[in-house]
Amino acid sequence: MAEHDKVFAGSIPKFYDKYLVPLIFEPYAKDLAQRLGAMNVSRVLEIAAGTGVVTRAMAGLPNGAFSIVATDLNQAMLDEAAAIGTARPVQWQQADAMALPFSNDEFDAVVCQFGAMFFPDKGKAFSEARRVLKPGGVFLFNVWDRISENEFADVVTTAVGTLFPEDPPRFLARTPHGHHDLEAIRKDLVAGGFTKTPRIVTVAARSRAPSPHEPSLAYCQGTPLRNEIEARDKTRLAEATDAGAAAIARRFGTGAVDGKIQAHVIAVEK
C-alpha cells in the first residue's frame, strides 16, 4: 500500500462526508449499527471512524445506552466528524489502530467500518482489537468485496486510468477493494490471536446518486485517489473527475444513476 493511501487531509474529509458517505457508506453503517444493537454491550470502541457515519448510526440507536469511543488515525477526519455531531455524546480520540492507547479487556465490542483494508499490518491491528476486548467481546467489521462487484468504483478507476496510461492510479482497486479474499481475512484474524470461527456474510446494496457527476466527484476528490491523480499532474484533477463522470453516464445514463455495491461483514468473538 502506498503511503499516501492513508492520508485523508486537506479538502478530502469534506468531500468524503458530503459525497462518499451517502453514496456507499450509509447502508453499511446502518447494517453494522443494527448488528451491534442486537448485542449486550456497555462500552464500544470504534477504530478507523472516518467522519463518523457509523458513530452517528450507533449513537442514534433507540436502545443505545452504551458508551462510544470513536478513533481514527487522521485527526482531520475526526474534526469533521465532531463538527457534524452525534445524537448523544461520544468520545473522539486520535489513535493508530495498530497501537491502541487503551488497556487490556476494556471494551465489549470493537467496531470498524471499511478500515481494515488500510492497516499496513492487519494481523497486528487485529491483535490490538483483540487485546482491548473483554473476554467474550466481539470484533465487528466490514470490508469491500472486489472492485468488479462495486460498479461505480470500477468504472471510475478504469476511466481515470485512461488519462495516465503509463502509470494508472489504482488506489481504489489496491486498497479499499484490495482485502476481499475471505481466506486471507481468516488468516489475518488467526495472526491477530483470534481462535474462534468468524461469522462472515456478504451483503449487497445499491449506490444511488442524482447524476453521474456525484460518484466521480466522491471517488476522485473524496478519497486518496485525489492524492494519486495530483501526484501525476496537479492540473488534471477536474479532467479526471469529468472523465469518471462521462464513463458513468455512458454505462448508467445521464440522469439519476444506480449501481451495485458489495461488502463482507465479519464478526468474531474473543
Task: Give the C-alpha distances (Å, rounded to integers) separating 262 from 72, 140, 143, 180.
Answer: 23, 17, 9, 10
Distance, first Cα to last Cα, the chain? 28
User: Which of 125, 106, 123 is CA-nearest to residue 47?
Assistant: 125
The C-alpha cell of 154 is what?
470500477
pLDDT value for 59: 96
Whether the CB-CB separation of 261 and 207 falls below 8 Å is answered with yes
- Which cell goes with 48? 478507523
* pLDDT for the residue 14: 80
pLDDT of residue 63: 77
Place of cell 502509470: 167
Can you tell me the distance from the alpha carbon of 37 to that of 222, in angstroms, rounded to the nearest whole number?
29
Q: Which residues, 6+ apart, have CB-to-CB distance to 239 below 8 Å?
A: 163
Tell me, rounded to whole angstroms, the distance of Cα 93 from its chain centroid: 18
Write down the pTM of the prediction.
0.93
Domains of the chain: 3-145+171-205+262-269 (3.40.50.150)
Question: CB count, 10 Å around CB of 35?
Answer: 18
pLDDT at position 4, please? 52
Q: Which three cell numbers stand for residue 174?
A: 489496491
CA distance 111 to 115: 10
Q: pLDDT means per 10 residues in the chain (270 residues)?
A: 52 80 95 95 96 96 90 92 95 97 98 95 97 98 98 98 96 95 97 98 97 96 91 96 98 98 98
CA distances from 231 to 132, 167, 171, 175, 234 (A): 38, 11, 12, 17, 6
Cβ atoms of 66 and 108 within 8 Å: the answer is: yes
pLDDT of residue 5: 46
Q: What pairing do the DSSP bridges indicate for beta strands 133-144 and 107-113?
A: parallel
